[in-house]
Amino acid sequence: MVEINKSIMATKGGILSWQLTRLIAYCCALIAYCCARY
């Protein structure tokens, strides 16, 4: 039971970190785009 719970937590953590990485990449691209315009 504990092992299943660990794997679920690991999966949730992986998805969360992936979304966070994508968000940071999006913000960086947006900043670069704004800087390039000026």
Chain segment 1-38, per-residue pLDDT in tens: 688 889 989 999 898 999 999 999 999 999 999 999 87
Compute the distance between CA of residue 1 and CA of residue 7 in angstroms, rounded to an integer.
10
pTM over 0.75: no
CA separation for the pair 9, 19 (Å, rounded): 15
Range of the domain at 11: 1-38
* Number of Cβ atoms within 10 Å of the Cβ of 22: 10
> Looking at the 3D structure of the chain, how many domains does it have?
1
> How would DSSP label each residue in 7-32?
HHHHHHHHHHHHHHHHHHHHHHHHHH
